[in-house]
Structure 1
Amino acid sequence: MSPLAPIKHALAAILAAAHDGLTALGADPAAGLTWLLCVAAVVVTLRLALLPIVVHGVRQAHAGARARPHLQELSSRLGTRPDRDSLRQHLEERRMVSAEHGVSRLGCLPVLLQLPVWLGLYHLISDVSSGTAVGAMGPALVSSLGAASVLGVTLAGSGYLGGGPAHLAVVAGLALTAATLSYVTQRYVVASNTLTEGLPEAMVAAQRIVPAVSALGLVMAGGVVPVALLAYWVCNSAWTLGQTAAIAHWFPTPGTPAHARRAARA
């Protein structure tokens, strides 16, 4: 059994429950719009469940920003060729500074715990779009999702070419929307709330090109993944943009351009 199987089954139960709920409210169980709303419901449910980890990440970013000047001072005092005793004392002082400012020893581990969840959701949407039953998403529901369509394009369909103008418009529109949301989030929101002072110039330059590379990757992937998966990417990217913008506006990391704008508004 795949390590992601329990996660996929749990998410499949949410997807099936969303479909049952919308159908009970009168939605067409076979309509493409109904299934798109189901995908959106799974994304919203998952993002709400992960909010505690997001809050932890924001607090750690603030703690790290407060501790950073003190840690840089310790590093400057250490020198370039420290002896063993100096290095041991330096590490102890770093631990004390981190503890004083609330920097967790776990670092970004809680944030990394999200990765299996997102991989599970990716594989779930991919599997059911290709006709594979997963847990509560049995053969009947999988068949319904695969046959559902948006503007005549099935949610199981993929590729830019071969399906006519409507197919190209839907697939390209979803892929470009997901790519644009991702680029705006990383280039204008995340970048403004990220500390770059003291980082090597090569790392700063790499951060500048990541948004474009990520967006290009989404556009290229849009030509091979199912339409249902593109819809998931759009929903998830839209949530990420809104959540990241809210954090940068209301809880910016100290020392960043976003924090300076927040201070100017106060």
Structure 2
Amino acid sequence: MPDLLSPFTSTVAAALAGTHSLAEALGLPPGSAAAWLLALALLVVAVRGALLPLVLRSVRTTHARARATPQLTALTRRYEGRRDLESLQALQRERRDVHAEHGISRWSLAPALLQLPLVYALYRVVSDLAAGHAVGLLDAGLVASAGAASVAGLTVTARLGDAFARDWRSGAVLLGLALLAGALSFATSRWFTLPLTDLSAGPALAANVSALMPWLGLVGILAAAAFVPAGVLVYWVVNNAWTFAQQGLVRRLAPTPGSPAAIRRLGG
């Protein structure tokens, strides 16, 4: 998988080298912690910004599927229990007609899937940088520069356990980053993702599992925070902050038809 995605990681690595150069051009000392922190933040903004057209396409696709759901559910009920070839063919034809009516193509999930390689590459590059591994245009010199940059003794390679063992204040900073990343993930899922999901037609188990997702995300981030370097924690905070803002705008401006957020918007 990493070999297949190497073009994406090389592109993101080049982007990080570019944002670091931009940070220096803005007057920050070369190789300083401020320059690298700004470079990481700008990298996340650049990659997530580049993905916005795909995000907008995914939102439109989600809306189309939501509008088609009542018709598709009615079709399924009409043909329920009918397993003869003629009925199955008729069901498929009518489903295709409903999809065409609402503009749903067989490639409608492509925008969401195309986001995955870039998101993976972003995480991979930040992880490799924090681990001291050169990637593409992030050569050994830049990696060494990032590894040497520190804030109050904390470098991008610092880990939670080691930081607490060396100085409780450094550990508290990393713990604060982990808590902030987890809180942003929890709030995004609880306030924005769940209200944009229509679970009324699904089984009760699906609703119960969905209600647990914010907590599982929070626990997962806090558990992983004990093992990942500080650079990844910074990435999580910036990336989760972007997702929080993005999903908040989607809920406010374009809630999924039939979802709790859309119903509240119509009622308000």
| Fold-level similarity (TM above 0.5) | yes
Alignment match, 1:179: 182
Does the CA contact (< 8 Å) of 1:60 and 1:104 recur in 2? no
Structure 1 residue 113, shift from structure 2 partner: 1.7
Structure 1 residue 102, shift from structure 2 partner: 1.2
Structure 1 residue 131, shift from structure 2 partner: 1.1
Matched, 1:226 2:232: no
Structure 1 residue 66, shift from structure 2 partner: 0.9
- In the alignment, the residues of structure 2 paired with residue 227 and residue 263 of structure 1 have an alpha-carbon distance, to the nearest angstrom, of 43
- In the alignment, the residues of structure 2 paired with residue 3 and residue 251 of structure 1 have an alpha-carbon distance, to the nearest angstrom, of 35
Alignment match, 1:262: 265
Question: Where does the alignment leave 5 or more consecutive residues of structure 1 unmatched?
Answer: none
Q: How does 1:28-177 map to 2 (within 5 A)?
A: 28-160=29-161, 161-177=164-180
- Of residues 160-169 and 182-191 in structure 1, the stretch that sits farther from structure 2 once superposed is 160-169
Does the CA contact (< 8 Å) of 2:82 and 2:88 recur in 1? no
How many percent of aligned residue pairs carry the same amino acid?
A: 40
Q: How high is the TM-score relative to the length of structure 2? A: 0.95
Question: What are the Cα deviations for residues 58-92 of structure 1, in whole angstroms up to 9, with x where unaligned?
Answer: 10111011111111111110122432211110111
- In the alignment, the residues of structure 2 paired with residue 8 and residue 97 of structure 1 have an alpha-carbon distance, to the nearest angstrom, of 39
Does the CA contact (< 8 Å) of 1:149 and 1:155 recur in 2? yes
Secondary structure, counterpart of 1:63 in structure 2 = helix
- In the alignment, the residues of structure 2 paired with residue 110 and residue 6 of structure 1 have an alpha-carbon distance, to the nearest angstrom, of 18
Secondary structure, counterpart of 2:28 in structure 1 = coil
Which AA in structure 2 matches 1:40? A
Alignment match, 1:189: 192
Structure 1 residue 153, shift from structure 2 partner: 1.0
Question: What are the Cα deviations for residues 161-181 of structure 1, in whole angstroms up to 9, with x where unaligned?
Answer: 423212211211111111110
Does the CA contact (< 8 Å) of 2:185 and 2:214 recur in 1? yes
Aligned residues: 265
- Of residues 55-64 and 156-165 in structure 1, the stretch that sits farther from structure 2 once superposed is 156-165
Question: What are the Cα deviations for residues 110-153 of structure 1, in whole angstroms up to 9, with x where unaligned?
Answer: 20121121111111111111111111111111111111122321
Secondary structure, counterpart of 2:165 in structure 1 = coil
| Cα-Cα RMSD | 1.4
Does the CA contact (< 8 Å) of 2:64 and 2:104 recur in 1? yes
Matched, 1:212 2:215: yes
- In the alignment, the residues of structure 1 paired with residue 4 and residue 63 of structure 2 have an alpha-carbon distance, to the nearest angstrom, of 34
- In the alignment, the residues of structure 2 paired with residue 219 and residue 33 of structure 1 have an alpha-carbon distance, to the nearest angstrom, of 25
- In the alignment, the residues of structure 2 paired with residue 33 and residue 257 of structure 1 have an alpha-carbon distance, to the nearest angstrom, of 42
- In the alignment, the residues of structure 1 paired with residue 61 and residue 166 of structure 2 have an alpha-carbon distance, to the nearest angstrom, of 48
Does the CA contact (< 8 Å) of 1:151 and 1:170 recur in 2? no
Question: Where does the alignment leave 5 or more consecutive residues of structure 2 unmatched?
Answer: none
Structure 1 residue 193, shift from structure 2 partner: 0.8
Structure 1 residue 31, shift from structure 2 partner: 2.1
Secondary structure, counterpart of 1:113 in structure 2 = helix
Alignment match, 1:8: 9
- In the alignment, the residues of structure 2 paired with residue 201 and residue 82 of structure 1 have an alpha-carbon distance, to the nearest angstrom, of 27
Structure 1 residue 159, shift from structure 2 partner: 2.6
Which AA in structure 1 matches 2:141? A
Does the CA contact (< 8 Å) of 1:183 and 1:214 recur in 2? yes
Alignment match, 1:240: 243
Structure 1 residue 33, shift from structure 2 partner: 2.1
- In the alignment, the residues of structure 1 paired with residue 109 and residue 211 of structure 2 have an alpha-carbon distance, to the nearest angstrom, of 22
Does the CA contact (< 8 Å) of 1:132 and 1:139 recur in 2? yes
Does the CA contact (< 8 Å) of 1:63 and 1:102 recur in 2? yes
Does the CA contact (< 8 Å) of 1:186 and 1:211 recur in 2? yes
Q: How high is the TM-score relative to the length of structure 1? A: 0.95
